[in-house]
Chains A and B, each alone.
Chain A
Amino acid sequence: MTGDVAPLGSAHAAARTRAFREGLVAEMPSLRAFAISLSGQLQLADDLFQETLLNAWANADGYQPGTNLRAWLFTILRNTFFSLHRQRGREVQDSDGVYSQRLATPAAQEGALDLADFRIALAKLPAEQREVLIMVGASGLSYEEAATVCNIAIGTVKSRISRARATLAVLLGISGPEDLGAGSATDAVVKVGSVSELR
């Protein structure tokens, strides 16, 4: 993507309507969140985020109004990510989640799972599974949009998400509702067994 960026000339300025600019600003938090998810390191994520903003700006005429701006921006971000890694000549680092693990957990944390544990498990997923899980499960893209972003079949998106969920369940040690509340499944087994056995 960075190799064939259109010049920031007046010919492209027309495509950068007010709606596009406002949309871009509105999508910045989500776009940066996705950048952090992809790169795992804050410094790397912000380089990626900045490069994506420049690319999106330069290629605004490639955006079709009425389509999902977030999905369009994610595509640019993802292409930029791989292109940056090629330029830097190194493998995608397996340090995803390092930054996010340091994030403070919201004081009033709701939900059955511990967020810190969840982040560690999420970081262990293969990158190709994590990206679609984040896109569909967290950022609100449809299966179809995620498939377009990654340039893969919808079925592949679905199977990656399904595998990601199964792996997370194993990593987090949850096999049923018992594991999400107080006490684990094994505790329940022992309890039921001993009560019946003793009578």
Chain B
Amino acid sequence: MILSKSSLTHVLMSDRPQSQYANSMELFARRSVLGYLGRDVSQRGSTRTLLIRRMTGTADMESGPDSDAPSARFTPRSHVPTKRGASHHNRVIDDAIGEALRAHYRALAEAPLPDRFLVLLAELEAKDAGHDR
């Protein structure tokens, strides 16, 4: 079964509850997303809402005991996110942005400085020296 990125995006952006997923492809996509989120497939709330909760680090705050029942839970091999995982994600993103920011700035600062600015400073210093005499 092949699921294209565009159909998945369509499902992610949709706000319809599960019962309205007539298309089995969409239901499958929803199951995949819920699996990624470490959630019960019968979990209420739109996929989009769940994803937003997950991304904002509030994914686990509203999970009731039902969603933790092993039989009902769709458990992927990896990626069972926790709150700690969410803050770890944010830190990884911030680190990457910080790194790029410093690289960008370093490139600007390392660009060769035109001589005229050093000449200008030398002229200003010479003026001071003239006044001191």
Contact = CB atoms under 8 A, between A and B. Distances in A.
Given A103-B107, A174-B96, A186 B101 contact: no
A6 interface: no
A193 B32 contact: yes
A112 B118 CA distance: 37
Contacts of B88: 177
B62 interface: no
A172 B96 CA distance: 11
Contacts of B3: 190, 193-194
Given A174-B96, A177-B92, A189-B36, A106 B103 contact: yes
A163 interface: no
Contacts of A134: 101, 105
Contacts, number: 158
B105 A29 contact: no
Given A50-B117, A134-B101, A193-B31, A100 B107 contact: yes
Contact of B77 (A57, A110, A192): A192
A168 B97 contact: yes
A190 B8 contact: yes
Interface residues of B, number: 52
Contacts of B93: 165, 169, 174-177, 180
Main secondary structure of the interface of B (DSSP, over half): helix
Contact of B32 (A13, A28, A36, A190): A190
Contacts of A122: 101, 104
B71 to A, nearest CB: 15
A134 B35 CA distance: 39
Residue in A32, A115, A177, A193 with the greatest tally of chain B CB atoms within 10 Å: A193
Nearest to A9: B131
Given A113-B96, A138-B102, A192-B36, A32 B8 contact: no
A36 B120 contact: no
A107 to B, nearest CB: 12
Interface string A24-44: 110011101100110000000
Nearest to B116: A50
A53 B123 CA distance: 12
Interface of B: 1, 3, 5, 8-9, 28-29, 31-33, 35-36, 55, 74, 76-79, 88-89, 92-94, 96-111, 113-114, 116-118, 120-121, 124-125, 127-128, 131-132
Interface of A: 8-10, 13, 16, 21, 24-25, 28-30, 32-33, 36-37, 46, 49-50, 53-54, 57, 100, 103-106, 109-113, 115, 118-119, 122, 133-134, 137-139, 165, 168-169, 172, 174-177, 180, 186-190, 192-198
5 contacts: A103-B111, A119-B104, A186-B5, A196-B74, A197-B31
